[in-house]
Amino acid sequence: MKIGIFTDAYNPVTSGVVTSINMLEREMKKRGHEVYVFAPSKSIQPKENQNLYMLKSMPLIVARQYKNRLAAFYSREVAKKIKELNLDIVHTQSEFSLGLFGKIIARKYHIPFIHTYHTMWEDYIHYIIPIKGGRNIYTKRFARTFSKNFVTKAECIIAPSKKTEKYLKYKCKVKNKPIYIIPTGIDIKPFEKENFSEQERTKLKESLGIKPDEKVILFLGRVAEEKSIHILLESMPLIFKQAPKTKFLIVGDGPSKEDLMEQAKKLKIENQVIFTGKIPWIDVPKYYNIGDVFVNASITETQGLTFLEAMASSVPIVAKYAPNLAEFITHNKNGILVKHDADFAKSILNVLENDALRNKLITNGLITAKQNSSEEFGDKLEMLYQEIIDLYQKKKELNVKEKEKQTRTIYKRITNKLLELTKLKKK
């Protein structure tokens, strides 16, 4: 198959979307398919990817620290190249410029198009419209209508979690359009604890000002309002009082960093809170592996790959309860899900001090990480692509009634095959 991926976020941008796209590329290439990525200019082409096409773009003023860019939504030159490529399927990964370009290309050259809905935009509208908390009802309605309109012409939609599927169905009112839940999964090998010696871990801790005998409470991700890191900071004074040989390590960068540093000063815990800023992706597994507990208070994640990465790194999890997390985290089995912010301190201390609980969370977390592998992600998408391509070709030869019947049959077959692949991987 010749697969066209259209995305507004690509390397060197660090995000869950980019991680998912990189995983998709690798898995499809492993299976012998050709993958072509269409992204904004200034994107970085990995050595193994010889098929990157870039559209002219400019820096996105909103949240500029993430290095996102806004590309032109059409390029005649790139469109001509795409015609020569003879793509079998278009897979859009965003709803903006490159996503629109993908839709135009699909319609222009009669190529089936599917879409992965990564981001529930009403949770991020505060970056665009500075309304406190992003809770204005009109901006939420706009975000939902915008999302619904984008996916109208897609053959199907991929959601990374049930939470996203429900959002599309019940909030955005997406009807008569199949939505398939396909979590990205992770390549667990880079995160495994045996990759790092005790000496390497100690050296990294010391470089951060953490003593070898001090325990590390770890947050890793975007340092932004929607991650609710301020809630975690509020819990730290009590934790540090009861467990003074502890540090809170915040790995990542973002617009909330200065506000959080100021909050730490007001709480008089700035000497025990460490901000690393942005780190290279290649070093991320090493940072996980110095953590004694991974914490996150966000309820806006669509999937939460960082939780699986922490599990793969043998780091127990304490997180704010959210429906999508409950899909793969079972409270008190492979993680701790906190329902009330006031309970964070107690839960974190319990994991740090209770060896039996800690070992249980680590053991079951590793099992969960292995069950959410990149291989399963690749198998499911490969099957989905082939079924959608076949359906698209068959519909050209059928009348309206026959099209509807054939469409229902294949959509049902896709659902059954996804279930089969899930059961196979869980054995």
DSSP 273-285: EEEEE---GGGHH
Burial 178-188 (b: 16+ CB within 10 A, else e): bbbbbbbbbbb
CATH at 231: 3.40.50.2000
Residue at 36 is within a domain: yes
C-alpha 379: how far from chain center: 19
Give the residue from 232, 230, 226 showing the smallest Cα distance to 300. Answer: 226
Q: Both 270 and 350 in a single domain?
A: yes
Asked if the model's pLDDT at residue 132 lies above 70, the reply is no
The per-residue pLDDT of the chain, averaged, comes to 91
- Same structural domain for residues 79 and 31? yes
Position 422 in a domain: no
Report yes or no on 396 lying in a domain.
no
Give percent of the chain with pLDDT exceeding 70: 93
Query: Of 59, 71, 184, 61, nearest to 117 (Cα)?
Result: 184
Question: Last residue of some domain: 371, 393, 416?
Answer: 371
The rounded distance, in Å, linking the Cα atoms of 256 and 162 is 29
Domain boundary among 320, 336, 371: 371
Residues 59 and 180 in one domain: yes
Domain boundary among 371, 395, 418: 371
* 31 and 176 belong to one structural domain: yes
- CA 98 to centroid of chain Cα atoms: 19
In this model, does residue 201 exceed pLDDT 80?
A: yes
pLDDT of residue 38: 96
- Cα distances from 272 to residues 227, 242, 269, 347, in angstroms, run 20, 13, 6, 19
Q: Tokens representing 282?
A: 């290649």
Based on the fold, state whether residues 179 and 200 are members of the same structural domain: no
Which three-class secondary structure string do you get for 24-73? HHHHHHHCCCEEEEEEECCCCCCCCCCCEEEECEEECCCCHHHCCEEECC
> Does residue 7 sit within a domain?
yes
Residue 133 has pLDDT above 60, yes or no: no
Say how many CA atoms lie within 13 Å of 356 toward its Cβ: 0
pLDDT recorded at residue 63? 54
Please state whether 176 falls in left (phi above 0), alpha (psi between -120 and 50) or beta: left
> Are residue 265 and residue 346 in the same domain, yes or no?
yes
Determine the Cα–Cα distance for residues 231 and 120; give it in Å rounded to an integer. Answer: 22
Per-residue pLDDT, 126: 57
Phi/psi at 354 (nearest 5 deg)? -100, 100
pLDDT, tens digit, 9 for 90 and up, residues 392-406? 999 988 888 898 999
Residue 315 near residue 193 (C-beta atoms within 8 A): no
166 and 222: one domain? Answer: no
Burial class for 116, CB neighbours closer than 10 Å (0-12, 13-18, 19+) = buried
Residues 317 and 367 in one domain: yes
Residue 405 maps to a domain:
no
Same-domain pairing of 256 and 176: no
Q: Which amino acid is at 317?
A: I
Statement: residue 319 has pLDDT above 90: yes
186 contacts 372 by C-beta, under 8 angstroms: yes
Query: Band of the pLDDT at 67, cuts 50, 70, 90?
Result: low
* Residue 194, pLDDT score: 95
**Which region among 25-29, 156-160, 238-242, 371-375 has the lowest average model confidence (pLDDT)?**
371-375
The answer to whether residues 173 and 209 belong to one domain is: no
pTM of the predicted protein model: 0.80
Enclosing domain of residue 68: 2-185
Q: How many domains does the chain have?
A: 2
Chain-centre distance of CA 424, in angstroms?
A: 24
- Any idea which residue has 């609710």 for tokens? 228
In a domain, 298, yes or no: yes
Distances, alpha carbon 306 to alpha carbons 186, 295, 333, in Å: 10, 10, 18
Same domain, 334 and 208: yes
Q: Estimate the share of the chain in helix, then strand, then coil, as percent rounded to the nearest 5.
A: 50, 15, 30
Q: What is the rounded average pLDDT of the residues 304-323? A: 94
Same domain for 347 and 205: yes
Backbone angles phi, psi at 35, to 5 degrees: -120, 130
The total of other beta-carbon atoms located within 10 Å of residue 246's CB is: 20
- Residue type at position 339: K
Strand segments, DSSP code E, in 346-410 are none
Phi/psi of residue 337, nearest 5 degrees: -110, 120
pLDDT at 12 exceeding the cut of 90: no
In a domain, 393, yes or no: no
pLDDT 10s digits, 33-51: 999 999 999 888 766 667 9
- pLDDT digit string (tens) for 282-309? 999 999 999 999 999 998 876 778 999 9
Q: Is residue 284 part of a domain?
A: yes
- Is 50 exceeded by the pLDDT of residue 134? no
Q: Name the strand (E) or helix (H) holding 319.
A: strand 317-320
